[in-house]
Amino acid sequence: MVPVAVFLAHSAAHPTGFGLPGLWGALGVSAEAATISTGCLGLLGVPLAYLLAHHRGRLAKAAGLLVQLPMALPPLMSGVVLLYVFGPDTALGRLAGGRFTESLLGVVLAQSFVSAPFVVVAARSAFATVDPALEDMAATAGMGPLGRFTLVAVPVAGPGIRAGLVLGWLRAFGEYGATVMLAYHPYSLPVFTYVQFSAVGLPATQAPALLSLALATAVVLVARVPLARGRRALQLALTERRREQPPNRTRRPTNTQDGPAGRPAQGRGAGGASPARPGHWLATRATPPGPARSPVPVSLRLSVRTGRFHLEVSHRAGSHRLAVVGPSGAGKSLTLRALAGLLPGDVTFGTEPVGHLPPEQRGVGYVPQGQALLPHLDAWHNVVLGPRACEEDALYWMDALEIAELAGRLPHQMSGGQRQRVALARAFACRPRLLLLDEPFTGLDAPARTALLHRLRELQLRAGSSSVLVSHDFREAALLADEVVVLSNGRVLQAGRTGEVARAPASPEVAGLLGWRNILPGTVDGPAVVAAGGARLATGRHGLATGRRVEWAVQPSRVRLLGSQQPGAVPGRLADTADLGNHVLCLVELGPGLVVEVDIGAGEAVPGRGADCWAYAPPDAFTVWEARPQVARR
């Protein structure tokens, strides 16, 4: 800043040079050529940046390297390279009659070559930061590749793209070396300035430098103007696009700030754009919309590799409400993405194979983790984003999910639970033949989680649509599905009706994933006895040979604490208690290293901590599995 300040102070005291012949023409040439160059780079460089950000192959890496080469070349050498392509003695030069040199076109070519890396690299970095779930959501909502690029990726990456275009314009405007080699005439401002400096000296450069500083400052300031109008223009563009879809033309708000017939709404919510009550323009349906098609079960056969992870799932559901349960990294989200068409796999909806269809043609409603709301669109435009969205249904579901008053709010103006409801309304509004829910309650506090869980069950039953839920919580699965598939490490451990799987887990691992407690090791000590921690437990007949290692489980609610010895009871010591309000959790030590949890109902007598007691569970309360063989560690 010091040289700029000194220069400005000197120029204020001794202004000169603004009447130089050719000065304003050179300024116009530089500004015009830089604007044309930046426009061309926006049309060609931004799509190229998008492709480079979405591909990781060798060709993409080579293209990314070539794009950056002009930044490594000295500008003068860039001009030499361009002369070998566009010079008057080249094939292209002769074909064009020498119009590539000594012309405005030559200035544009030189500026485009040296400024392209600034646009492409900045745009590629911006596209790389766009959450892939946003484009996945748009694809499942019915948007094709062009729509996802123009209406999702570009707006979300807009600030980075705009910064790259500004840098590209400034670099093009100040370009000298390549321009002087390829197109000496007409003079651009840097060439004009050097010619004046060579002929007259430093005083003749003052006016060009001042004009450059002023124009560059103006461009930077304009580029910093907030994008609120751009966001509003995009929302209007989405609304106009929906007008071209006759099947979904229903009553809709043409302006989120106006009431019916263009009358101003009487109140606004946060952000100054949402109506105080949905009745102003967000009228609701009296009856719920029916599903687009009859509910259908889902069949899938998947074999997907991502790095070292291999997902291999094959299942034919008997119910149209399915849940996929498993620990983190089990492959649950990959399964859901394959159902949505975002990953390859053999998938059948009912009796119709859909594995060959792209995601925009499968007719699913997808709610990925993190809601995937477009940050530049308000709640209403997020809900009706997809081409398949029915606006009349959107009105109904927003009211049913109690988010009608949030219609004009941007995502950052909503809580996590509100954003989740907007994502659900968007999925329902598409009239999906299959609703895909990927951990829909992640990140919500307990009250919001419980309220939304029961609300979703109510709406799911009301809509009658098919659904596949991904969750690590079996309680959520039991409430929202009739059938469950338990995954671990990319493999199916067990599948069946939720109640059957809950009552009879196929293995200790499944039991743990379903939330079972008191899963402990032991040894078979008889046809109906398991020895563990020095205690002998009457478990009922288990069919395992004496001496075999087993794992056994008993639910805490099936265990009773007794004050005296009774047949089948095991002596123990009350190690700890915790009063949880509706029940008391007790930890009872039955032997060395053998501690079981016991739930005692509220109001029942609880011995003091450290007291001796007897624990009893009926034989049918025990579940016994043969222990898996231990793998020797190397």
pLDDT band at 633 (very low <50, low <70, confident <90, very high): very low
Per-residue model confidence (pLDDT) at position 86: 93
Residue 66 CB neighbour total at 10 angstroms: 10
Q: What is the per-residue pLDDT across 373-418, written as a single tens digit (0 to 9) for each?
A: 999 899 999 999 888 888 888 888 888 888 989 988 999 999 888 9
Q: Where are the domains of the chain?
A: 21-225, 298-503, 517-626
The top-level CATH class assigned to 21-225 is mainly alpha
Cα 52 versus chain centre, distance = 19
Rounded mean pLDDT, 77-92: 93
Place of tokens 């599905």: 481
From residue 536, how far is each of 528, 548, 566 by CA, in Å?
10, 15, 14
* Superfamily of domain 517-626 in the CATH hierarchy: Nucleic acid-binding proteins (2.40.50.140)
Specify the CATH architecture of the domain 298-503.
Answer: 3-Layer(aba) Sandwich (3.40)
Per-residue model confidence (pLDDT) at position 272: 36
User: Which string of DSSP letters, residue by residue, matches 334-394?
Assistant: HHHHHHHTSS--EEEETTEE-TTS-GGGS-EEEE-TT----TTS-HHHHHT-STT--HHHH
Q: What is the per-residue pLDDT across 521-551, written as a single tens digit (0 to 9) for each?
A: 999 998 889 999 888 898 988 888 999 999 9
The three-state DSSP-derived secondary structure of 533-551 is CCEEEECCCCCCCCCCEEE
Per-residue model confidence (pLDDT) at position 630: 55
Rounded mean pLDDT, 224-251: 56
Per-residue model confidence (pLDDT) at position 265: 36
Q: What is the per-residue pLDDT across 330-372, written as a single tens digit (0 to 9) for each?
A: 999 999 999 999 988 888 888 889 989 999 999 899 998 877 8
User: Which string of DSSP letters, residue by residue, matches 298-337?
Assistant: EEEEEEEEETTEEEEEEEE-SSSEEEEE--TTSSHHHHHH
CA angle 583, 447, 485 (to 5 degrees): 80
Higher pLDDT, 202 or 285: 202
DSSP single-letter state for residue 264: B
DSSP single-letter state for residue 227: S
Pairing, β 466-471 against β 321-325: parallel
φ, ψ for residue 367, nearest 5 deg: -120, 95
From residue 424, how far is each of 165, 187, 225, 403, 498 by CA, in Å?
36, 59, 34, 11, 24
Per-residue model confidence (pLDDT) at position 289: 64
Residue 230 scores a pLDDT above 80:
no
pLDDT band at 266 (very low <50, low <70, confident <90, very high): very low
d(CA 107, CA 174): 11
Pairing, β 434-438 against β 466-471: parallel
Rounded mean pLDDT, 432-438: 90
Q: What is the per-residue pLDDT across 26-47, written as a single tens digit (0 to 9) for each?
A: 999 999 999 999 999 999 999 9
Residue type, 629: P
d(CA 39, CA 111): 12
Of the CA atoms within 13 Å of residue 356, those in its CB half-sphere come to 2
User: Which string of DSSP letters, residue by residue, matches 204-226?
Assistant: GGHHHHHHHHHHHHHHHHHHTS-
Mean pLDDT of the chain: 85
d(CA 38, CA 36): 5
Rounded mean pLDDT, 574-586: 90
d(CA 277, CA 579): 44
Per-residue model confidence (pLDDT) at position 498: 93
User: pTM to 2 decimals?
Assistant: 0.79
d(CA 426, CA 398): 9
Q: Which of 283-287, 468-472, 546-550 has the lowest average pLDDT? A: 283-287
Residue 263 scores a pLDDT above 80:
no
Q: How far apart are the first and last CA of the chain?
A: 63
